[in-house]
Amino acid sequence: MGFMKYFSLLIKPTSASCNLNCRYCFYKDEAKKRSVFNHGIMEYSMVETIMDRILNYFNEQTMITIAFQGGEPTLAGLEWFNHFFDYVNTHKKDFHHLQYTLQTNGYTINDQWIELFQKHNILIGLSIDGYGQIHDRYRKSNDDRPTFDVILTNYHRLVQAKVNVNILTVVTHDLAKHAARLYDFYRQEKMDYIQLIPCLPPLDETSVYAFKPQDYPLFFGKLWTCYIDGLNHGYRPYINLFDQWMAATNGIGAAQCGANGYCAMQYVSEADGSVYPCDFYCLDHYRIGSWSNHDPATLMMDDTTTAFLNETTLPTLCTHCPYVQMCHGQCKRQRVCFMDMTNGYCGIRAFLNEHGSTIHQMGQHFLKQTY
Ligand code: SF4
Ligand code: SF4
């Protein structure tokens, strides 16, 4: 196929609207800190503006990745998504290749949604925080009901329908104490693609839910031991963080934002067409502009974007760390969960001190299998 360009953006069709009321939701916190909390549902005309801007901009072989996120994106309704795909499929050129992901809480997935996911080959990121007791503690419906049973049933329906599903688990301070139980749950449910996301505290605040630096060696250390045990018994799930460290300890850069030590432009598109550089920073002073009057290049070159990308600096704690060349000090927004700057403690460093060499060895083993 020759040279291919890559472009990705994140669309929030329903702004901060959600049918669940998760206690630790970082997006609700962010949205509350800007002048407009909720922009409602993205209008069809805005969908068309955004997609015209992108499709007209790329005139050669381009892979365009679109991630739908929220709030809860499915609240935009099936008709919204049908319009979106109809519009893109009638306006795209042969050299435009599109791939889609959709992050959902899975609460209202039914046969029609499953059909849509199959038809457009959408990779689903489904939020399940592990076993019921812990999931239901934080992920409640708007009327305060537990959601676990519904969501686990929907997970199995998706798998049965051969939809590609990644499990997204938010690791709270609470869950960090129960790595082995979490692992047993994944194994029992035969979950193969798992993304673990440390629970963030609200911006510039602390919270009891948030993942703490000491949780890193506690949680990931135990989970790693379970992972090795699982491998010996034929269970080899993809776990984002382990694959990332197995690659990094063998000198391979990561695909995940922040793991290479710098920010990347995410083109986060709010329902009103506003664009922000990163999902963690959809705040007024990071608003770059609107798709109504910008194309990808002018958004990228905007002063707000440059300022955001240049904001990242390596913490002093990292400068003399033996792991800095593979860790790069991580994502600036997530650092608060990994490092206790006041006491000079880093949870990642403690984890790598203990498990770095087995992670490296296991990484080599997998690399040999792959190549
Ligand atoms: S703040 Fe983190 S997630 Fe956002 S662009 Fe920077 S590294 Fe990526
Ligand atoms: S392990 Fe910790 S101290 Fe070392 S580079 Fe990474 S974040 Fe910084």
Set out the domains of the chain in order of their start, with CATH numbers. 5-370 (3.20.20.70)
Q: CB under 6 Å to ligand 1: residues?
A: 257-258, 263-264, 278, 280, 331-333
Q: Using CA of residue 271, residue 273, residue 276, residue 278, what is the dihedral sign? A: positive
Largest CA distance in the chain: 57
Ligand sitting nearest the alpha carbon of 331:
1
If you measure from the C-alpha of residue 324 to the centroid of ligand 2, how many angstroms do you get, rounded to a whole number? 6
Quote the percentage of the chain above a pLDDT of 90: 82
Rounded Cα gap, residues 110 and 123, in angstroms: 16
Nearest Cα neighbor of 182 from 143, 232, 237 is 237
CB 113 within 8 A of CB 72: no
Q: What atom in ligand 2 is closest to the CA of residue 330?
A: 7
Rounded Cα gap, residues 222 and 75, in angstroms: 37
Q: The tokens of 191 are what?
A: 């979950």
Positions of the chain with pLDDT under 50: none
Residue 148 confidence (pLDDT): 95
Q: The tokens of 146 are what?
A: 């537990």
pLDDT one-digit tens code per residue, 203-252: 888 899 999 999 999 999 999 999 999 999 999 999 999 999 999 999 98
Residue 22 confidence (pLDDT): 81
If you measure from the C-alpha of residue 287 to the centroid of ligand 1, how many angstroms do you get, rounded to a whole number? 15
What are the distances in angstroms from CA 28 to CA 23, 67, 77, 299?
10, 19, 20, 25
If you measure from the C-alpha of residue 309 to the centroid of ligand 1, how many angstroms do you get, rounded to a whole number? 9
Q: Which residues are catalytic?
A: 279
Ligand sitting nearest the alpha carbon of 324:
2
Rounded to two decimals, the pTM is: 0.94
